[in-house]
Amino acid sequence: MDLKPINLQEKLAKFSNHWSPKIIAQMNDYHFMLVKFQGDFVWHSHADTDEVFITLDGEMSIEFRVGKVDLKAGEMFVVPKGVEHKPFAEKECKIMLVEPGGTVNTGDAGGDMTAEDNVWI
Amino acid sequence: MDLKPINLQEKLAKFSNHWSPKIIAQMNDYHFMLVKFQGDFVWHSHADTDEVFITLDGEMSIEFRVGKVDLKAGEMFVVPKGVEHKPFAEKECKIMLVEPGGTVNTGDAGGDMTAEDNVWI
C-alpha cells in the first residue's frame, strides 16, 4: 500500500487532451477517472452501468432526450444505465468520472471519439 | 430521472453531526456519501470492500498500522479491503466517501460510533 494521497490538481496537470478519461484510482472493480471536456461529445448510452459525473472545475451539461442538466464545480450527477446522453461544455471543464473498469467512453455509439481504454496517470 | 444536479455544499449544509455518513447518490449498488470528521474514529477494517475517501474541505488523516496518509482538500485515497485503518481530523473536515451500499462505518469493530445505516439527505 502506497501511503501517498492522490492529488486531483496534480493529476489534471498531467494531460491536456479532451474526452479521454485517465484512471487515477481503483476501488474494487470500479475506476475513478479524470477527464477534460470541451465541445460536444456523441450521443450514447451504457447498457450495463450507471455513470457518475463530478464537476471539479468549470461548467458542463449533460443533454438527455427529455432535457438537460447543468453542472458547475462542486456538483455531481448519476446517469442511469441505458439512458442516452450527450455531455457538452462550451469552455474546458474538468470532471471526475466513476464507473466500472472497462466501460467504453462512447458506450454503444463507438466512433472516432472512443478513447484508449485503461490509461492510468 | 430528476434532472437536478447534486450540489455538495448544499448537501453538506444539511447536517452537522460527526462520523455519520449521509447518502447523496447511488451508482449501481454503490453509495456516494458525505460525512464530517472531527477527532478520532475507531480502528476498523472492511473485509469485503475497498473504501474511497475524497477530502472536500479541511484536512484529515488515515492512520494505518504501518504509517499514515494525510489528505487535504482535493485529495483522495483508497483504503484496500481488509486493511485496518483509523481516520482522524484535528479540526472539522468534510469528506465524500464511496463504498458499496450497506457498508457499516465501523466495519468489523462495531461500538458506539456505528452510524445509522442508509440515511439519505
Residues in chain A, total? 121
Contact list in B for residue A74 (CB cut-off 8 A) is 7-9
pLDDT in tens, chain B (121 residues): 899 999 999 999 999 999 999 999 999 999 999 999 999 999 999 999 999 999 999 999 999 999 999 999 999 999 999 999 999 999 999 999 999 999 999 999 999 999 988 899 9
How large is the average pLDDT for residues A88-100? Answer: 98
User: Who wins on pLDDT, B118 or A12?
Assistant: A12
Structural domain of B68: 32-100
Quick check: A70 pLDDT over 90?
yes
Would A99 be classed as within a structural domain? yes
Short-list A13, A20, A27, A118, CA closest to A57: A13
Would B50 be classed as within a structural domain? yes
Quick check: A23 pLDDT over 90?
yes
Residue B17's pLDDT is: 96
Residue A80's pLDDT is: 97
Within chain A, residue ranges assigned H as helices are 8-12
Short-list A99, A94, A88, CA closest to A42: A88
Inter-chain touch B6–A51, beta carbons under 8 Å: no
Closest CA–CA distance from residue A43 to any residue of chain B (Å): 17
Q: What are the backbone dihedrals phi and psi of residue A10, each rounded to the nearest 5 degrees, phi first? A: -60, -40
B64 touches A: beta carbon within 8 Å = yes
- Tell me whether 0.90 is exceeded by the ipTM: yes
The helix (H) or strand (E) run that includes residue A38 is strand A30-40
Per-residue burial over A72-105, b = 16 or more CB atoms within 10 Å of its CB, e = otherwise: eebbbbbbbbebbbbbebeeebbbbbbbbeebeb
A43 touches B: beta carbon within 8 Å = no
d(CA A103, CA A110): 12
Mean confidence (pLDDT) of chain A: 96
Contact list in B for residue A9 (CB cut-off 8 A) is 74
Query: How many domains is chain B built from?
Result: 1
Would B7 be classed as within a structural domain? no
Residue A69's pLDDT is: 98
**CA dist A46 → A6, B5, B86, B104 (Å):** 27, 20, 37, 30
Would B88 be classed as within a structural domain? yes
Inter-chain touch A7–B75, beta carbons under 8 Å: yes
Handedness of CA A21, A27, A29, A30 (dihedral sign): negative
How large is the average pLDDT for residues A74-98? Answer: 98
User: The domain spanning residue B58 has which CATH number?
Assistant: 2.60.120.10
Residue A120's pLDDT is: 97
Would B77 be classed as within a structural domain? yes
d(CA B95, CA A39): 31
